[in-house]
Amino acid sequence: MKRIFLLVAICTLNIACSPPKYPDPLSPEDSMASFELHEDFEIELFAAEPHVWDPVDLVFAEDGKIYVVEMPDYPYPPEKGKGKGRIKLLEDTNGDGIIDHSQVFAEGLADATSVLPWKGGILVTSAPYIYYLEDTNGNGQADSKEVIFSGFFDNNSEAQITNLRFGVDNWIYAANNGQAGKVSFARKPDAEPLDTRGADFRFRLDKDLFELESGTAQFGQTFDDWNNKYFTQNTLHIQQSVIPRRYLERHEGMPSKNVNLNISDHDFTMYQLTPPPYWRAERTRRRNNQYQEQGLDRVEHADKYFTGASGGTYYHGDAFGDGYYGNIFTGDVAGNLIHRDVIARNKEGYGFVASRAVDEKDREFLASTDPWFRPVGFTVGPDGYLYVIDFYRQHIETPVSIPDDLKEEMDFMYGENHGRIYRIKPKNESQQKTHVVNLTSATSSQLMGLLAHPNGWYRLNAQRMLVENPDKDLLGEAISLAHKHKDPRTRLHAAYLVEAWDGLSPAFIEELLKDEHPEIRRHALILAEKFPSLRKNIQEATEDQNSAVVFQALLSLGNFTDEEAARVLAKTLSTTGESKWHRMAVVSAPVSLKSPMLKALKELSFFEKKEDWKQEFSSELAMAYGLIGNPDLIQDLIRYFEKEIAWAEGNLAWHDGLRKGLQIHGKENEALQASLELWDRQSEQAEGTDTEILLAALQHLHP
């Protein structure tokens, strides 16, 4: 009787008689057993606790060092000056392919999230800073710490500066999630701080440059062989930034600088094997009940939809085979899986389409039944294999988004002493490749040869090393590679090496503009922007047979402000303007907001034919004029539209666009706002609009 009573008492206390709401961790071996991986591949353990805790980034440096970034503060903000972030050096001492030794390279970092090798040391994102850390005495510990940039947003560990990437164009890119900051460059103390709101970030240490970049990457930013940028952002697992930010900054009248494009053709669905955690299922149930009570046509999903997309990485290795080269791998930390996208250019040339592989229409590349599996990122190693960074925590969510009563049962730090890194490689490989590498003894000529390596890890690291330590005696060899090598990827690496070594010339670029590969021609246009004498070449490229080249030509030609540039922009727009991105490219050109563009449109009888996209363009162009707020130019625009647009929808569109632009431009101008409100009231009371009132409003503008 006593035993029965005791059992009832234990069950009443909810001990051992019902499964726990949140499972405990598995060993690395048991966790790996839960993986359902594509049948052509196998997965191996590369590193685990105690050598790795809370990993968020992994880098193989050119000298053979393996750096891992640990983020034990997550998800709580670290106390000021008391960050627990670490960077470790990992080592495989017995050559069996598994890490068996680790050493702390640097510690006490607040929210360190990514590293990038540079000149023998490493660049580190640790909001609000980007540091340069270096071991100057060879003891495996950083003894030099330099603040390179400061002022980044530092109030949400899921949305801070991260994902350092060296681009083929010699710029270093960082994901900023569009967060506001006033960023200063320590090496240029007199430079104006950069307002990073709504943008990502890029910089060059070889030229001491820094600027905004398009996109709002959260935790996952990657570049293909041609420097096209893709990024992840929670529910949107793969986006593209269509137009680089530098083109959107050419004048103050851009109606929008948001150039994020969701390129997935399969959107939010993912094939998850784990059930949603209790807190998520319960929170979703409550929210859906609330939506129903409020009569909202809205449904939230607790699982099987991307909610924690992270770490998208372009595969440019040489181990997986042609069918996988150029694929992008993205983790979902809430779904405990790895998703694969096949990338192809769209026919309009401005962007790409991401599709599921034919053999993964109803499954993922890898899915786990272990709810602790948190694939936050990836890297391609010197061996060409794909390395998976597993944060491995019981919970991976910011506490602020979870109801208080549910948080009472959750320990957000449970698992902080865990972490795994896996290596994915093809099955039945005849010979295991090695991650062991050391390029520090390579000569400049040998590094030049690595620009042709089939593994992108070698190509990018060799290029970076040659940028860090120029050997201009080899400039002629670099020029020859850029023009003659059979691999277009090598030609592009070499072309940007010529750029880094200050070897560009009009003749060199003219030869690139004749290249058979469209991506080389596209980048040649970017380089041609440095030489006004190449304007005619850029202009001719608007008639290229490749749509991506034409799109770039529109962007590049926008740097010129003469009548001929306006004429060509208008002519090209007349055949490509159904695409909003082509219209944005044209509106980004300063000449588009001046009389030469209106003259060119008039000569083309541009608005004679009624088309929906022309209606949209009239609104976009008029809004840009309003944002600039020059009354003389606006009057020219009004006179042009009144004569050239005879259809009511077009007139309504440009009036609406101009009004919006003026409202934003003159938001502190009470007289202007009053005139615009009067115009709005009269417009509502009668068909059409009264242009005289609009012209009167311009009297309150100051040129």
Low-confidence ranges of the chain (pLDDT < 50): 1-15, 687-688
Judging by DSSP bridges, how do beta strands 85-91 and 101-109 pair with one another?
antiparallel
Dump the DSSP string for 35-71. Answer: EEE-TTEEEEEEEETTT-SSEEEEEE-TTS-EEEEE-
* 648/696 Cα distance (integer angstroms): 22
Given this model, what pLDDT does residue 5 score?
Answer: 42
Which DSSP string corresponds to 585-652?
A: HHHTSGGGGSHHHHHHHHHTTTTSS--HHHHHHHHHHHHHHHHHT-HHHHHHHHHHHHHH--SHHHHH
pLDDT in tens, 449-500: 999 999 999 999 999 999 999 999 999 999 999 999 999 999 999 999 999 9
List of residues 6+ apart from 297 with CB closer than 8 A: none
Ordered by start, the domain boundaries in the chain are: 1-49+277-296+318-438, 607-703
Q: Which of 265, 458, 274 is nearest to 375 (CA)?
A: 274
* pTM (two decimals): 0.94
pLDDT at residue 7, as a whole number:
40
| Nearest Cα residue to 234 out of 254, 252, 250, 219 | 219
The C-alpha atoms of residue 25 and residue 473 are separated, in whole angstroms, by 57
The pLDDT assigned to 703 comes to 55
Q: Yes or no: say if 175 and 219 are a contact pair by the CB < 8 Å rule.
A: yes
- Which pLDDT score, from 0 to 100, does residue 82 have? 83
H/E run at residue 174: strand 172-175
pLDDT tens, residue by residue, 328-359: 999 999 999 999 999 999 999 999 999 999 99
Element (H, E) at 340: strand 337-345
* β-bridge partners, 387: 379, 423
Question: What's the pLDDT score for residue 683?
Answer: 65
Residue 106, helix vs strand vs coil: strand
Cα separations in angstroms, 666 against 362, 637, 674: 53, 18, 11
Q: Quote the crossing angle between the two packed helices 563-576 and 580-587, to the nearest 10°.
A: 170
CA 422 to chain centre: 24
Tokens coding 441:
């003894």
pLDDT value for 672: 81
**What DSSP state is assigned to residue 138?**
S
**Residues 391, 419: contact at Cβ < 8 Å?**
yes
User: Encoding tokens for residue 172?
Assistant: 């270093």
The answer to whether the CB of 235 falls within 8 A of the CB of 220 is: no
